């Protein structure tokens, strides 16, 4: 399951900019009517009244990403469940689930990030109850055998190998490793290779991971488009009301401040242009404040939560003249101009290119 990073990132930047503008001007950030309610089991449901006659988008956001993978040797499980959630239930086995999705003409997919996993269906609004039947069932009753587990673990290893046939993936993995010493942001969403290779041996742990995080108090359902609010509340209670609340609280360690620059050089076995990737720590996101003064300071402000970081291609690539220089770069408007604690990764081929 893949997602379109540029689209999502662009949308996030627009919303972030709007939030800043709202904080400065007092205007509303989001131009569409929003309703929220919460079931007794902790499941939050958000409805967004959007002008899309006959169409509804249904998102289930699980507040679990690779940041929740705190146990050594068990990275990659948030992404793993992005795959396994399509393996079916007793009521809707894989073939039956796919048949219903096809019958209602829906688009169904999922994506995983460092902080959350999202599953979505876009379909005709008159299929809302069918969608809620499908989604509530797999979130409450996912079933898979040990053979299914091993098969999907092998598919994830294949995905890792495919991604890491590109040197940029290796750079990104190394940059995460350099940027963090303690927080699980240290590994990327797909997980570490040695953990993925060992994944087929941990069927029981996968069941434990699902039991911990796929609980109503850890999920948010977002419905956007053409729907009736009363019907949404009634159906949410009917299909999700019996979902049992969990009690697991992850112990995610805080990242200590970085006090000096870190760098590494990564070799690549095949001819490639040289790349330079740089990252900067930035304040952790807060839903309590839209103040961005700290972005302009020379040292990142320490947050009570683990600080996030932003990576960018070196701005010096615009000065490049030869074919061996970097050709891709972008600038981060939030990066400090003279960072005291930057993280740098560089790579070049171990075999000189003749190009």
User: Would you say the C-alpha torsion 288, 291, 295, 297 has a positive or negative sign?
Assistant: negative
Structure tokens at 106: 């829906």
Structure tokens at 226: 């053409």
Q: Is 69 a catalytic residue?
A: no
Distance CA 221, CA 213 (A): 15
DSSP state of 23: H
Residue 9 contacts by C-beta under 8 Å, 6 or more apart in sequence?
none
- The three-point CA angle 125-240-53 to 5° equals 10
DSSP 35-92: EEEE-TTS-EEEEEE---TTEEEEEEEES--GGG--STT-TTHHHHHHHHTTSBBSSS
Distance CA 70, CA 79 (A): 14
Distance CA 253, CA 69 (A): 11
Catalytic residue from among 22, 28, 38, 82: 82
Distance CA 78, CA 68 (A): 8
Structure tokens at 41: 């089991």
**DSSP 3-state assignment of 125?**
helix
Q: Report the chain's terminal Cα–Cα distance, integer Å.
A: 35
CB 67 within 8 A of CB 92: no
Residues acting as catalytic residues: 82
């Amino acid at each position: 399951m893949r997602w379109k990073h540029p689209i999502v990132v662009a949308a996030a930047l627009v919303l972030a900019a709007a939030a800043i503008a709202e904080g400065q001007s007092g205007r509303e950030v989001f131009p569409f009517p929003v309703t929220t309610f919460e079931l007794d089991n902790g499941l939050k449901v958000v409805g967004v009244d959007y002008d899309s006659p006959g169409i509804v988008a249904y998102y289930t956001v699980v507040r679990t990403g690779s940041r929740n993978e705190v146990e050594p040797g068990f990275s990659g499980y948030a992404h793993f469940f992005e795959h396994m959630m399509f393996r079916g239930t007793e009521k809707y086995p894989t073939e039956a689930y796919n048949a219903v999705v096809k019958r209602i003409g829906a688009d169904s997919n999922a994506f995983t990030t460092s902080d959350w996993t999202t599953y979505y269906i876009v379909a005709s609004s008159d299929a809302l109850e069918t969608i809620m039947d499908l989604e509530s069932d797999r979130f409450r009753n996912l079933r898979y055998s040990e053979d299914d587990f091993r098969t999907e673990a092998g598919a994830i290893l294949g995905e890792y190998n495919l991604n890491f046939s590109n040197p940029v993936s290796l750079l990104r993995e190394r940059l995460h490793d350099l940027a963090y010493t303690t927080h699980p942001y240290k590994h990327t969403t797909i997980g570490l290779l040695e953990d993925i290779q060992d994944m087929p041996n941990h069927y029981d742990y996968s069941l434990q991971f699902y039991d911990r995080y796929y609980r109503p108090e850890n999920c948010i359902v977002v419905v956007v488009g053409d729907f009736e609010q009363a019907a949404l509340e009634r159906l949410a209670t009917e299909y999700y009301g019996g979902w049992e609340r969990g009690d697991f609280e992850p112990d995610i360690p805080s990242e200590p401040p970085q006090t000096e620059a870190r760098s590494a050089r990564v070799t690549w076995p095949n001819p490639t242009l040289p790349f330079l990737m740089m990252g900067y720590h930035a304040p952790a996101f807060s839903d309590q404040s839209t103040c961005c003064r700290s972005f302009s300071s020379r040292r990142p402000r320490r947050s009570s939560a683990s600080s996030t970081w932003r990576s960018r291609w070196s701005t010096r690539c615009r000065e490049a003249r030869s074919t061996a220089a970097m050709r891709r770069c972008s600038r981060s408007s939030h990066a400090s101009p003279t960072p005291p604690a930057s993280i740098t990764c560089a790579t070049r081929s171990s075999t000189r290119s003749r190009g």
